[in-house]
Amino acid sequence: MSTPGEHKTAQARILAYAPEIGWSFVSREEAEQRRGLRERGLSSPRHRSSKGGQERPPSLFFDDLLDAKVREAGHFPELNTRFL
């Protein structure tokens, strides 16, 4: 009998649990776009920022969603968005 892999022991359970806590599935393509991997047709891990043209890594998060959730929670109402 084979040992269960990561998909069975972790990923499948998280995917089943996620809707119960209000999360929704995002396709890989949409996730890459929202994180900045597909801006202007680039799919490399580093790309040019629209702010000053400096090279920056893609975000680990959906910055727009993270910003909205922080504001919704009432924390940091005057959040400096200079780095987002």
In a domain, 17, yes or no: no
Query: Domain of 29?
Result: 24-83
**Residue 31 domain-assigned?**
yes
User: Has residue 41 been placed in a domain?
Assistant: yes
How many folded domains does the chain comprise?
A: 1
Task: Kindly tell me the burial class for residue 14, based on how many C-beta atoms sit within 10 Å of its own C-beta (0-12, 13-18, 19 or more).
Answer: exposed
CA dihedral 17, 60, 82, 30 (to 10 degrees): -70
Over the stretch 22-38, which tens digit does the pLDDT of each residue have?
988 899 999 988 888 86
Is it the case that residue 74 has pLDDT exceeding 70? Answer: yes
Residue 2 pLDDT greater than 90, yes or no: no
In the prediction, which pLDDT does 67 show? Answer: 84
In a domain, 12, yes or no: no
Q: What is the model's pTM?
A: 0.52
Q: What is the pLDDT of residue 68?
A: 85
pLDDT, tens digit (0-9, with 9 covering 90-100), for 62-71: 988 888 888 8
